[in-house]
Amino acid sequence: NTGAAVVISARTYADFTTQATFEIKKCDVHKLDETPATQVVMTREEGLQYYRTMQTMRRMELKADQLYKQKIIRGFCHLYDGQEACAVGIEASINRNDHLITAYRAHGYTYTRGGTVKEIMAELTGRRGGIAKGKGGSMHMYCKNFYGGNGIVGAQVPLGAGVALACKFQGNNELCVCLYGDGAANQGQIFETYNMAALWKLPVIFICENNRYGMGTSVERAAASTDYFKRGEFIPGLRVDGMDVLCVREATRFAADHCRSGKGPILMELQTYRYHGHSMSDPGISYRTREEIQEVRSKSDPISLLKDRMLSNNMASVEELKDIDVEVRKEIEDAAQFATTDPEPPLEELCNHIFHNNPPVEVRGTNPWSKLKSVS
């Protein structure tokens, strides 16, 4: 019986379409003669990978919600569910040695940049096995070529331009993806950064993740112009369907080519939506209706959209996607188990890692006679 099942399974996999062409929504553009492709190819392997990654991000955030309500995760916690296509689409079109910096809704990007679910969950619970050794928490996660997780609204944008300046200075053909939300888009420091980036032709992709609400304020009430992709004025811009992973992938590919060809910065606005409130302390329904959230879920959910595409083009079976769901759930459960049993960091590690590669240094504590040590 088992042999027969394996044969049937192998034959079924052979019957799947290995790649398909899809028609995607055209981007709105500003100061650009060309636009990203609207006829795009996705392979079966790519589709399955995007599906698994988005599903992992979704489940991870739902588990974080649960642990927060159990008071196992405390403090600030901003969830990314609903916006998964943005992170996955961006990562699909940049290289591992490119750089990325974002605001405090950072769990998804920590994962796509190479962090593990286990490390992210343990960081959320403040444990030693966390990606920042349990000392960063939800808003301050980092890994190679990923600069966080930044808690101050808009502050990551000039930092991202600084990373792009380093890329240009080193002449390594790398770029920096610099993300911020619609709430940060009215910050003065962002416009100062646009100016410097354009003057110095920095290889930076500025990305505004427009999820329609800055905390509890809708974009219409906060911004005199909601055409965020035109806000760069002298910087070319694209407005992209941020709920479609293929739209984000193609637009990012276009933007990355623009930067690498020496044309300087480019701006992207990803129109997306968050299902949770601004943070875990915001129920998210005092300034929008449950019906609005449900409508986005039913009509524009990024995971459902990808799943429907794959099934209708015979690129996967319902059973296969269900198997992925089961594997993802198990990975999240195992990570949550680790995150609740791993020990908290000891007090003597409090000041470690201030410097990257230094001999141990003495650090003053909360008073002159309390001395601590920092080890790199």
Residue 12 has pLDDT above 80, yes or no: no
Domain shared by 269 and 357, yes or no: no
Domain shared by 355 and 271, yes or no: no
**CA distances (Å), origin 204, targets 53, 67, 190, 257:** 25, 36, 13, 11
**CA distances (Å), origin 337, targets 33, 55, 115, 265, 327:** 52, 19, 17, 43, 15
3 lies in some domain = no
143 lies in some domain = yes
Task: Quickly count: other Cβ atoms within 10 Å of residue 359's Cβ.
Answer: 8
What confidence score (pLDDT) does residue 368 get?
A: 83
183 lies in some domain = yes
Domain shared by 152 and 253, yes or no: yes
- Quote the percentage of the chain above a pLDDT of 90: 91
Domain shared by 29 and 172, yes or no: yes
Dihedral angle, C-alpha 101, 107, 315, 90, nearest 10 °: -10
Domain shared by 294 and 364, yes or no: no
Domain shared by 245 and 362, yes or no: no
- Quote the percentage of the chain above a pLDDT of 70: 96
362 lies in some domain = yes
Domain shared by 304 and 209, yes or no: yes
Considering only CA atoms, which of 298, 309, 330, 334 is closest in space to residue 48? 309
Domain shared by 222 and 367, yes or no: no
Domain hosting 279: range is 19-345
What confidence score (pLDDT) does residue 2 get?
A: 54
10 lies in some domain = no
Domain shared by 78 and 170, yes or no: yes
Considering only CA atoms, which of 97, 51, 56, 101 is closest in space to residue 80? 56
14 lies in some domain = no
Domain shared by 300 and 353, yes or no: no
If one counts the domains in the chain, the total is 2
Query: Which alpha helices (H) appear in 137-186, and where do they start and end?
Result: 156-170
What confidence score (pLDDT) does residue 1 get?
A: 56
Domain shared by 210 and 70, yes or no: yes
Cα distance between residue 248 and residue 86, in whole Å: 6
Strands 237-241 and 213-214: unpaired
For residue range 330-352, what is the model confidence (pLDDT) as tens digits?
Answer: 999 999 999 999 999 998 899 99
246 lies in some domain = yes
For residue range 77-136, what is the model confidence (pLDDT) as tens digits?
Answer: 999 999 999 999 999 999 999 999 999 999 999 999 999 999 999 999 999 999 999 999
Looking at residue 285, which CATH number applies to its domain? 3.40.50.970
What confidence score (pLDDT) does residue 7 get?
A: 46
Domain shared by 172 and 267, yes or no: yes
8 lies in some domain = no
